[in-house]
Structures are given as structure tokens and as C-alpha cells.
Amino acid sequence: MKKTKDTLSKELIESHRYENIKARIRARYKQSYIKDVLLGGIDGSVSTFAIVAGTIGGGFPSIVALVLGASSFIADSLIMAISNFQATKSIGDQLEQVRKEQSLISTIFPKAL
């Protein structure tokens, strides 16, 4: 069902009411790690496979392929964890800044609508 311009206007006005803004300020971001686990697993598998296949294809001994594969897996896991931490922290910092701004606005204009 397509929303009309009038319905969208009412939703916009409703979302900017004092009580709704206050509820959004108090709401907390919920982190889900499913996407990160899937992305990290696929990325780690592909790059580790490429390294192992390259060493085997290059005629190196199996122990070299094993060592390079293990080191690649550890490095990929570590960098994925660090990247995820930084991304999650950045999102949290950004949301905290928005909460502060919204709180200030609702303090200055307590009953704007």
C-alpha cells in the first residue's frame, strides 16, 4: 500500500513530538554480529584458500602451505576483529553525539509540537 503525502506528513509530525524524540534519545543501539561473522568467514576462507592454492601450485612443500594458510587465517581474523571494533565504536560515538544534540534541542524547546 502506497503512503499518501498526507500520511507521510502526519508520520513526520508524530515522529517529532516531544515524547517520541525523548524515546529515541533513550533508545540504545543493538549490535548484531551475524553479518560480521559471515563476512569475516567468507573473506577469510577465500583469501586463505588463495594463499594455500598458490603455494601448492608453486610447488612448495605442504608444510609451507600449512604455515602460510594458518598465518593468513590468524591475520585475517585479527584485522577483521579490529575493523569491527572500530566500526562499532564509531557508530556508538555518532549515536551518542545525536543523543546529545537531541537532548539539547528538547531542553531548549521542551514542547515544540
The model's pLDDT over 56-110, given as tens digits with 9 standing for 90+, comes to: 999 999 999 999 999 988 888 888 888 888 888 888 888 888 888 888 877 777 7
Look over the chain and give the mean of its residue pLDDT values, rounded to a whole number.
82
Nearest 5°: phi and psi at 2?
Answer: -80, 135
CB of 26 within 8 A of CB of 103?
no
Query: pTM for this structure?
Result: 0.54
Q: Is 103 exposed, middle or buried (0-12, 13-18, 19+ CB in 10 A)?
A: middle
CB of 12 within 8 A of CB of 89?
no
